[in-house]
Amino acid sequence: MLFALICTDKPNSLDLRLSTRPEHVKYLESLGATLKTAGPFTTDDGSPNGSLVIIDAADRAAAKAIADADPYARAGLF
């Protein structure tokens, strides 16, 4: 089943996003076929302010576990 993870960054957290990005990208890559697509939301000036991640998971609990393990989520970005 496909799940859309719609994540909104905390205000004034661009530095946290940028410093955690390498871990986040590595994590997404590790998901393999589970990850269907992912990308940032941006403001009108192009600054990232959230993420959309679409995953294939068995159920809501599995999707939540994947979302909770994301380095962005663990760092408190969302």
Rounded Cα distance between 26 and 24, Å, is: 5
Taking only the tens place, the pLDDT of each residue in 43-72 is 999 999 999 999 999 999 999 999 999 999
The dihedral formed by the CA atoms of 69, 54, 43 and 48, expressed in degrees to the nearest 10: 40
pLDDT category of residue 78 using cuts at 50, 70 and 90: very high
d(CA 60, CA 39): 21
In order of 18, 33, 39, 49, the CA distances from 23 in angstroms are 10, 18, 15, 18
What per-residue confidence (pLDDT) applies to 2?
98
Name the percent of the chain lying above pLDDT 90: 100
pTM of the model: 0.91
Residues in the chain: 78
How does the average pLDDT of the chain come out, rounded?
97
